[in-house]
Every structure is written in structure tokens, then in C-alpha cells.
Amino acid sequence: MKLITKRLSIQFDEGSPPFKFLHSIMLHYLVSCSIIILFASFSISAVAREITVKSGTKINTIQKALNLAQNGDIIKVTESTYYVEDILIDKSISLIGIGKPVLDGQKKSNVIIISAPQVTINGFVIRNSGFSNIKDKAGIRVEKCDRVRILNNLLENTCFGIYLAKVNGGTISGNIIRGNNSVIQSGNGIHLWYSNHINIYNNKIYGQRDGIYFEFATFCEISHNLSENNHRYGLHFMFSNNDNYAYNIFRNNGSGVAVMYTKHIRMINNTFERNWGSSSYGLLLKDISRSYISNNTFAKNTSGIFMEGTNEVKVERNIFLNNGLAVRMLANCEKDTFLLNNFLGNTFDFTTNGSENLNYLKGNYWDKYSGYDLNRDGKGDLPYRPVSLYSQIIEKLPSAVFLLRSFVAELLDEAEKALPSLSYVNLYDTEPSMHIIR
């Protein structure tokens, strides 16, 4: 240490007098920095102890290890099955499983409760939480603390999987959550309530009520997750603004994703598929504004997107493939924009329930468009009306769906082509693309 400072001082002493003052400041700064780093490294080595939980030794339960631990310690848990109930982690520790130890909650209450900041839980199998109607029971419950990290766990047969209430900052990654397939009793896989700045990535969630549920959760990132076979929604936002979700797959859920009563949500590169059912949607937008939906794939859903009370939402470069209805847009939607989307193989491209429509479509590719492009600019010469006459009749008379693919329905389509003025909905794509947009 002294040597370094001496050398530095010699070097700097050789400098010209006007720079001497500056040099001395720099020297001071360097010395103080190195002292701080030295102290920090000492303090870390002094505090971070390792405690190992192993059956047959003195510390054979996690609770015993927790009693011994101090802030910053690492508790390693060796492979075994531990029967636990409401383990309270109230110190800033890392709980690390070696060889996937099992924490069995015996169907009584929560399995783990975290109430201290900077806690890490990594590499456990957590199963059998309690199920209760009065209080939400969870595999891992985090309450009123900051910067939690929940990594690489397998949660089985828990009511709620991971439950965050009033948490600021954290990471939930690499977890697999498997619900018990009971419709009424199941809770949500990852549940956030009044939390912000949480990163949720690389998780897989099956058989819960909602895969991921956000209520008053803001500034969160959700990416690369798989949410499948959940009873209600793959992902569900309620009153949660300013969140992003990207590169997720939502497959075969009761409905795909519901974004409700929120604004400023970015939805990018997600896949919404196989959400079949009488009232299912790939994406439900209900009372949402100023959001961005881009590069997503909507395939094989009853409705690709269902929009109600949706304002100033931009829908760009998505693929709508083989849906019953690609887009259902109720008349109370305003100022939404559909640009450069591909509509392929849908039974109906657009449906709506009113004649006035204050939204904007441009440059989309519609496989049902049969107009010409005589000036060869890549855009159809006539505008395309995506709300077919037949779908307007179904709107008035739902049982007319019985005539789908019949001669009568085809006749209506042909009649509409010949006389576009038959259609009374004023929604049309002004420049339909002649080619699939890539």
C-alpha cells in the first residue's frame, strides 16, 4: 500500500508546478479509494460466513441455521426432505439448495416467508403449501422488503407460487411452478401486489389460476417466460402501469393475457396461441390506453385481440394466424392504430358492434383482399373493409353463425365485393399491402 503511494508520489512530483495541485488531489483520491476497497474486501470476508444444514449434524434444520445466521451469511442446505411451515427469513441471507433439497409445507400454511431485504432463495423444491379461502397461502411469500432474488426453484402443489406484497426491486428467474389443476382453489403462479421494479424471466408456469398476476405493480419487466394450461389467464394486469413484457409464450390458457385498467404497457415479440373456448381471447384489452403491441404472433385463438375501451394503442407488425376472430374491437375504442400487420387464415379479420369507428388501419396485409394493384406500388388500389357484411349480420343475429361457410354466406361475400356500399361500418384499410409483410 505504502509502496504504491510512494511510487505514485514520485511520478507526480516530476510534473510541472501548475499541475502539482491537481496531482495532489488525484493522489488523495486514489489513496482514499484504495483504502475503501481494502476495507470493503476485509468486511466482506469477515461477515459472509457459510452455514451448512445437513441431517446428522448439529445444524439439521433450516430454522437452526437461521437462528445462527447474521446479515450477509450464506446458508447451504444439503439434499434431503425438510418438513417446514412458515419459515420466517428476517435476515439478509442467501438460502442455497445443494442438489435440490425439498421443503414440504405439509399443506398447512406458507412454506417460506421473507421479510428482510436482499434475500436470495436458490435451488429448492418447494411443495404442498396450505390452501385457504381467508388468507392467500404461498410457496414463497415476500412481504414489504427490497431486492429479493428467487432463482431456480421448482414449486409444486402450492396455492400461490411466489407472492410479492409491497416489494421494491427484485428478480424472479428460472423457476418452474406447477399448480394442482383444481379450478377453484388454485392461486396465481407469480403474484405481485403493490410492487415495482421486479424482473421476471425464464420461468415456466402451469396449471395455476393466473400464470402471472399484477395488481398495482409498476416498472416491471417480464420476458422469456412460458405460461401454459392456466385456468384463467397466462398473464394478467390490473391497475399496473409502465410495464414491459417481451418474448413470452402464452399457450392453451383459459384466456391468453388480460391487460385491464392500465396504461403505458409495451407488449413485444410474444406468442399467444391456442386459447380456445366460447369466450376466450389471445389478448384482452379492457380500459387501457397509450400502449404498444408489436411483433407478436396470435395463432389459433377464439379471438386474437379483444378490445374494449381501448384508446391510443398502436398495434404494429403482428401476425394474426388461423384465429376465429383476429380482432374484435368494440365501438368504444378510439384512436387505435393498426399498421403493417399480417392477417392470414382467420375466419373473420375484424368484428365490431357499432357503425361508427374512430380507429385507423394502414398498410396491413389481408389474405382475403382480392383487389388489384394496377400502378404496381405494392398497395391495393381500393381500400379493404375488414368487417365483412356477414359478420355484421352475425352481430345482429348471433345464430346466423350457423350459415358459416355455406352458400348463403359466400353469396353475401360476393355481393359485398360487387357493391362495397352494402357494408355500413366505416372502418377500412386505406392502403392494404399486396404482399405478406416480413
Partner 1 sequence: MINKVKIVHLIFVLLLSFCFACKNEMRPINYGKDNCELCRMTVMNPQYAAGLLTSKGKVYTFDAGECLVRYVKKNGINEMDQYFMSDYNKPGSLVDATTAFYLQGDSIQSPMGGNLASFKDLTSAKVAQTSLGGQILSWKNLIK
For partner 1, the binding residues (CB under 8 A) are 133, 136, 183-184, 193, 209, 215, 231-233, 238-239, 254-255, 258, 260, 277-279, 284, 286, 306, 308
Number of Cα atoms under 13 Å in the Cβ half of residue 364: 30
Supply 383's cell numbers.
381500400
19 Rama class: left (phi>0) / alpha (psi -120 to 50) / beta = alpha
- The amino acid sitting at 201 is Y
C-alpha cell at 94: 442467501
Supply the minimum distance, in Å, between the C-beta of residue 249 and partner 1: 20
- Give least dist CB 433 to partner 1, A: 32
* Identity of the amino acid at 375: N
Q: Shortest distance, CB of residue 39 to partner 1, whole angstroms?
A: 44
Nearest distance in Å: CB 231, partner 1: 5
Closer by beta carbon to partner 1, 280 or else 391: 280
Q: Which is nearer to partner 1, 208 or 392 (CB)?
A: 208
Q: How far is the CB of 233 from partner 1 (least distance, A)?
A: 8
To partner 1, the closest distance from the beta carbon of 53 in angstroms equals 34
Spatial separation of the C-alpha atoms in residues 346 and 154, rounded to whole Å: 38
Residue 4 DSSP SS3: helix
Q: Least distance from C-beta 423 to partner 1, angstroms?
A: 27
Residue 438: Cβ within 10 Å count: 7
C-beta of 260: minimal distance to partner 1 in Å?
A: 7
The H-or-E segment that residue 214 falls in is strand 212-215
Strand partners of residue 215: 193, 238
Q: CB-wise, 178 or 209, nearer to partner 1?
A: 209
Please say whether the beta carbons of 96 and 123 come within 8 A.
yes
Q: Is-contact 171 149, C-beta < 8 A?
A: yes
Residue 425 Cβ, how far from partner 1 at the closest point, in Å? 22
344 close to 319: Cβ distance less than 8 angstroms: yes
Q: CA nearest 127: which of 98, 103, 109, 108?
A: 103
* For partner 1, the closer CB: 145 or 285: 285
Can you read off the three cell numbers belonging to residue 423? 357494408
Nearer to partner 1, 133 or 421 (CB): 133
For partner 1, which is the closer residue by CB, 208 or 223?
208
Nearest to 113 by CA among 83, 134, 90, 135: 90
| Residue among 143 and 416 whose Cβ is closer to partner 1 | 143
Cβ closest to partner 1, residue 129 vs residue 275: 275
Fill in the amino acid letter for 173: S
238 vs 382 by CB, closer to partner 1: 238
- H/E stretch holding 389 reads helix 389-396
